[in-house]
Structure formats: structure tokens, C-alpha cells
């Protein structure tokens, strides 16, 4: 079982709550970074802390939920070491893990049912990174992070 960070904005709050309950029943440890209500909030305020937790190794994976998943993925990918992807279907989640070693999954609450979200998360958590030719590509992504950090003087 994994330690998973969850985060959502107001649009994603109900789906996040459903996933949280389900993940705990599946035996995972879940750290909930909010939001904790349906009051309007800004998605970067929740994507950032989840992405930071993944990048610093506090958690193994992160799951973010907003209306489409796109905003959360964009925000999470600003953090060095994070490889976030939106997955609206099971195959995208599987390939994201297998080929891209994604460590953050973004879901769209307005376009993904709770049942489909559970299927997507199940496959995403269970799929290992294939390595091989894909490892070279993931290393190139890590190199982009290092170049950005050197350019900006950011710690990582």
C-alpha cells in the first residue's frame, strides 16, 4: 500500500472526498491537503503542497482533482521532480505510469465519474514504471528540472 497525498479545489472536493474514503478502505495512508469545502478556492494553493510532498519524498504519489484536471496538472508540474498527468481514462493512467513514471495523477471531477476515477486510480497505483527506453526519456525530464533550478537558483 502507498502513502498518497490528495488535493482538490472546490470543484474537485466531492470527488476527492470519495476517493479519500475509498483509498483508506483499500489500505492506503492518505494525507489530505485540502480543500475541505466547496467554497471557491484557487487550485494552485492545493496542487503546490501536494506536489512538494511528492517531490520531497514525504509521500509516494499524489492525486489532484479540479474541474478538468488540467489546472492541477499544470500547477503540479511547476515543482521539480513532479511528473503530473491528467488521465480521463484507464489507458492514459496506465501509460502515464508505464512510460512516463508519473508520480502525480490529475483528475477532472466534471468529466470523470467516481466509479471511473476509482478504476483510473487503481490502475495508476498498480502499474510499475517500465524503465528501459522510457528511463532515458524520464531522465531527460529530470535534466530539464535541473537546468531550470540552476537558472533560477531554486533549491530542489
pLDDT category at 154 given cuts 50, 70, 90 is low
| pLDDT tens figures, 55-95 | 999 999 999 999 999 999 999 999 999 999 999 999 999 99
Active site residues: 66, 99
Does position 156 have pLDDT exceeding 70, yes or no?
Answer: no
Domains of the chain: 3-152 (3.40.1400.10)
Q: Is the pLDDT of residue 15 over 90?
A: yes
- Interior angle at CA 117, CA 114 and CA 123, nearest 5: 145
Q: Which pTM value belongs to this model?
A: 0.94
Average model confidence (pLDDT) for the chain?
96
**What pLDDT, on the 0 to 100 scale, is given for residue 155?**
55
Amino acid at each position: 500500500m502507498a502513502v498518497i497525498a490528495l488535493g482538490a479545489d472546490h470543484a474537485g472536493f466531492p470527488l476527492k472526498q470519495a476517493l479519500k474514503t475509498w483509498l483508506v478502505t483499500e489500505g492506503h495512508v492518505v494525507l489530505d491537503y485540502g480543500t475541505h469545502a466547496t467554497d471557491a478556492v484557487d487550485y494552485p494553493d492545493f496542487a503546490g503542497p501536494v506536489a512538494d510532498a511528492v517531490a520531497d519524498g514525504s509521500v509516494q504519489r499524489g492525486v489532484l482533482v479540479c474541474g478538468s484536471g488540467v489546472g492541477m496538472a499544470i500547477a503540479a508540474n511547476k515543482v521539480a521532480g513532479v511528473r503530473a498527468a491528467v488521465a480521463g481514462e484507464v489507458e492514459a493512467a496506465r501509460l502515464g505510469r508505464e512510460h512516463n513514471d508519473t508520480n502525480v495523477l490529475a483528475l477532472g471531477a466534471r468529466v470523470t465519474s467516481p466509479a471511473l476515477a476509482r478504476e483510473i486510480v487503481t490502475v495508476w497505483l498498480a502499474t510499475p514504471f517500465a524503465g528501459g527506453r522510457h528511463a532515458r526519456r524520464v531522465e531527460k525530464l529530470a535534466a530539464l528540472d535541473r537546468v531550470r533550478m540552476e537558472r533560477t537558483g531554486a533549491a530542489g
